[in-house]
Chains A and B, each alone.
Chain A
Amino acid sequence: MSRSVGIIANPASGKDIRRLVAHGSVFDNNEKINIIRRVLLGLDALGIEQVLAMPDISGLARQAAEKANVSFPVALLDMPLKNSAVDSTWAAAMMAEAGVGCIVTLGGDGTNRAVAKGCGYVPLVPISTGTNNAFPVMVEGTLAGLAAAVVAQRIPGVREAGIRLARRLDVYRNGELIDFALVDVVAYAERFVASGAIWDPHKIRTVVLAHPRPGTIGASAIGGYLPQAAVNGKAGMWLELGDGGKRVLAPIAPGLITELSVKSYRTLKVGEQGVITIAPSVLALDGEREIPIKPDQRIEVRLSQNGPHVVDVTAALQAAGQKGVFIRANHI
């Protein structure tokens, strides 16, 4: 068991172009500080003895610790800051190395993708700080803190009930694994990464989903709304979009519900792969344009079971409750 928990909060999330091209709202850093404060109080209530936090130029964790007045030290990792996603990957790796029992993340899909590159087997409690995320969930910080505490301390039965192994979409370029997505890979008919987000339905060409999900915003909804989609959770999905296909209405960004034309779609089982044929284009990973691809490159996407371990907050707390974790001795 571990009495130590990590916190990785991305100061940059919640401000991208989706505020202009869709109806996303700005998620301010003072609210992130408030959330971390409630996470810390949740951890404190269940006997966590140390928190390791990623430092950042905004001082999110430091300010939260000052305000929360908890009984344990909040240690900022001693690491150089690049003020980019690399910080989150690095922090996650350092936390895993230090033996934390759980990592709480604050950010969007991109933040969690970066953390997943470094966290190894340490389970994540991903708190969404935005309205356009498919991987992290909107959950109260207090509950996230309590759940992280019971998971970190390996209360018997909690891990079995409250943790699932996430899938991953591995991206290969000319046979070499170059990156992965947690939720979706989209071939977007544009040449540049530019402002990152994807929102123009006419440029969304190939969509690969780790999970077709009717309950989320973004490309994963497109698959989720198709009849006969593999919504039973067992398989992913491969879709080709283009004129003359089946027209599907889907929420691809906050407040942006649009028709897309799906020419073909098939399920994608774990271990299966396909080839992206749209080039030049930019591969968007979890909704962020990341990798420009050229016609002479062979790009394959394979569904794998190598994603991070993710905590289901409600299930973890329920299991802990059954074990009597929340029952306190009567005062005499």
Chain B
Amino acid sequence: MSLIIQIENLSKSYWRDSMEIPVLHNLNLEVERGGFLSLMGPSGSGKTTLLNLIAGIDRPSSGKVIVNDSDISKMGESALAKWRAINIGFVFQFYNLIPVLTAYENVELPLILTKLSRKERKKHVETALSIVGLEDRMHHSPRQLSGGQEQRVAIARAIVADPLILVADEPTGDLDKNSADEILTLMKRLNSEFDKTIIIVTHDPHAARIAKIVHQLDKGELIIK
């Protein structure tokens, strides 16, 4: 199996005023195409930071992040934005739907950047919404949905442009157990049925268990299990 993510000697520090806050040190990681990786670890250990670096919404201080054969740490800002639109789907803990848009419109957002026609966009949005089982809630606004439903809309938005990789930062962190299970089942299906490479950050051991591989992060160092 080929590698979709290769991380070499990755370090990341944040700067607050003139204080350096080191977060990741010389981290190495490989993820196979079609893999399902779960990142666990105590709060502040750098899980979100690592995920953001893989997804290309943050920049490493040093080291390489090679995703699907391109070194994204070398890309310019707008090239990286285009790259993200094609390659990455995001799921956040707090859904981050645009409150003034309906479920349908939220899912359609990433497609606005593509050359797809209105009709094609409609087809894609409806497919994505049916995968997450919300085709009947298309015209609801986020406020009219439950947390679990909102997260499913967010997942539909993450997969609508058919990215290679899905990253999820504590996607069940704000949900009750039933809703969380639904989300996890959905993730599993996206991995097995649709071949998405998935990286999920979670505190929930149950959530971690559905992943094929679990990595533990502690004080910026990976402990591979």
- Our verdict on whether A and B bind, yes or no, reads no
Interface of A toward B, CB cutoff 8 Å: none
B residues with a Cβ closer than 8 A to A are none
